[in-house]
Chains A and B, each alone.
Chain A
Amino acid sequence: ETGVTQTPRHLVMGMTNKKSLKCEQHLGHNAMYWYKQSAKKPLELMFVYSLEERVENNSVPSRFSPECPNSSHLFLHLHTLQPEDSALYLCASSLGRALGEQYFGPGTRLTVT
């Protein structure tokens, strides 16, 4: 596998479920990001990890919980979500925190029922 991969690609969950999204990068990068893309809204940055340390939490509700166990893996744990959380969740990675070009995964399409 090369680049940035995300699993699952599609997820349907109820409001009381707990699920996790997974992202893996094979590029040797040291920074990873979660973005949310809702219909008719610009991409929104959610979390940034640099060298496995969370360096930005962009006012995201606590029902979203990120985890970065190492520089190649990033998770987004989901619990008690709301229907308005339905969106495309994109993971990205870069080399270096500020100047590195970001490479994106294919995304997970999440539907909350």
Chain B
Amino acid sequence: KQEVTQIPAALSVPEGENLVLNCSFTDSAIYNLQWFRQDPGKGLTSLLLIQSSQREQTSGRLNASLDKSSGRSTLYIAASQPGDSATYLCAVRSDAGGTSYGKLTFGQGTILTVHP
């Protein structure tokens, strides 16, 4: 059974700092890994999707890396801003190729606060 762990559970940083969020998963047989952002009381916004064959993906100030063999992914946020404050969720897609459709296993998230 796939398990996803995110560290730290919460992080508070001053504006402008570069930061790293960590995600680890127990079963390295994955199709892809997705990072999401969730604002309080709202749905999820997809940030980055990394296929299992890729090592990293970049979007603006965000960079996500994937080391499938070690079961780890990191989300790097450059020059953080107060608007980045949210919960960041990591989700791993494990698919048995016919029995499980698009099943994502989520971590519990990292609550990020960027203060001015």
| Interface pair B41/A109, CB less than 8 Å apart | yes
A102 in contact with B46 given A42-B107, A56-B103 (CB within 8 Å):
yes
Q: Which of B34, B43, B89 touches A101 (beta carbons < 8 Å)?
A: B34
Q: How far is the CA of A48 from the CA of B97 in the complex (A)?
A: 15
Q: Which of B31, B89, B101 touches A43 (beta carbons < 8 Å)?
A: B89
CB closest residue in chain B, given A93: B102
| Interface pair A97/B101, CB less than 8 Å apart | yes
What is the interface size of chain B, counting residues whose CB is below 8 A from a CB of the partner?
28
Q: Which of B43, B45, B46, B101 touches A50 (beta carbons < 8 Å)?
A: B101
Q: How far is the CA of A26 from the CA of B34 in the complex (A)?
A: 21
Q: Which of B45, B95, B106, B108 touches A98 (beta carbons < 8 Å)?
A: B95
Q: How far is the CA of A28 from the CA of B42 in the complex (A)?
A: 23
Most A Cβ at <10 Å: residue of B34, B43, B93: B43
Q: Give B contacts to A, CB under 8 Å.
A: 4, 31-32, 34, 36, 41-46, 49, 51, 89, 91, 93, 95, 97, 100-109
Q: Give A contacts to B, CB under 8 Å.
A: 4, 6, 31, 33, 40-43, 45, 48, 50, 55-56, 88, 90, 92, 94, 96-107, 109
